[in-house]
Amino acid sequence: MDPPTPESLALSTADPLTSHFTSLNDLAQELASLQDLATRGSWRSILDKVTRARAQSLLTKPHDHLVYFTYNVLALTKLRRFTDAAGEIDSLEDLNSLRYKYEGYPDVYPGRVGSMVPFSLRWMYALIPMKLGRRQDGLDRLYVLLDFVRRKVKEKREIGSVDVWRRREMFVMNGIIGVHLNQKELAACLSLIKELLNRDYTDPVLVSKLGYIQMQMGDLEGAKSSFNAVQGMVEKEEGSEMRNLVSRNKALVFMVGKDYVSAVREYEECIERDGSDVVAINNKALCLMYLRDLSDSIKVLESALERVPTVALNETLVVNLCSMYELAYVNHGDVKRTLSSWIARVAPDDFDTASTRI
């Protein structure tokens, strides 16, 4: 199961665009409500709000229009309306043009300089071509974005403020690694992950990702060495997050060796420490399925959906549950329809209902 992305696409108050204002509503009309809707996954409501704001001419400043535009594209992307999102983005000029800089409007923003373009919009500009099947276009744009971020890192280092752009650099690099990994372009993945680790070999998440890539390359001993290094890094950690990372790494090694009983034990320890560890929940169920214990594997996933629906309502998990239904029940169509009805009531707007495979 793929880990969650390292950074939300939604705008946040940490974005440089919003950091100059005392509240979100100072930035644009009712922006706080848009942020709240995004957090709750109410993407259709965001589209409605943007449409109303535009129709009623509520947006008076250039950055108002740009921020609402970003939320609109984000909502279209989340709702898988990729063609519409691409059409919106294609209506823009070069994102680095004067039109999208504060200094282009000296009467509106006296003394201010720099880009008004939210980082989220730059990210979606790269993402959307891949969603439309134009993988190389999207990958090219990701590398262009990486160059842009690295220039910002260099600029900010010179003025002593670099943390946000460093995080964004890692976010973009992780995105590029994910694209290459999806196509089994493992040499490219290894090169990028080593570039990150050359800067900081003390990040247990990065070293774990190195181990996963080594495992994909068939280098089991290298993966074990990386996972052992992670264990050494976090052995004194008291929180569940890092301890679960170590257990999930161990479980992966057991799964590769088809020792599913030992893998289940590791995943159970994760779930005991953190009942919302959806990776451990999903993978424990898969191991039980491989052990031909379909009844218990189904119970694991159903229980998670009941206990922590906001976390467990994950498309990969639902696909796996429906696969188990198909293996376990003759009347699996009825069971899946019941699940689908429940999902329709509780899921956010962007949940892919096709995952139930009805």
What pLDDT is stored for residue 5 in this prediction?
36
SS3 160: coil
Give the CA distances from residue 268 to residues 69, 251, 283, 320, in Å, rounded to whole numbers and listed in that order: 44, 10, 10, 18
pLDDT given for residue 14 in this prediction = 38
- Share in percent of the chain as helix, strand, coil (round to 5): 70, 0, 30
The CATH topology of domain 1-151 is: 1.25.40
pTM higher than the cut 0.85: no
DSSP string for residues in 292-347: T-HHHHHHHHHHHHHH-HHHH--HHHHHHHHHHHHHH-TTHHHHHHHHHHHHHHHS
The pLDDT score that the predictor gives to residue 254 is: 97
d(CA 77, CA 127): 9
Dist CA 206 CA 295 (whole Å) = 36
- Give 232-257 pLDDT, tens digit per residue: 999 877 789 999 999 999 999 999 99
39-to-12, 27, 46, 107, 343 alpha-carbon distances in Å:
10, 18, 11, 34, 18
What is the per-residue pLDDT for 16? 37
What's the pLDDT at 19? 39
**Residue 201: which residues within 8 A CB-CB, separation 6 or more?**
207
* DSSP class of 115: B
| DSSP-assigned beta bridge partners for residue 101 | 115
Low-confidence ranges of the chain (pLDDT < 70): 1-30
Identify the residue whose tokens are 């983005």: 89
> Looking at residue 15, what is its pLDDT?
39
Q: pLDDT value at position 4? A: 34
The answer to whether 173 and 143 have CB atoms below 8 angstroms apart is no
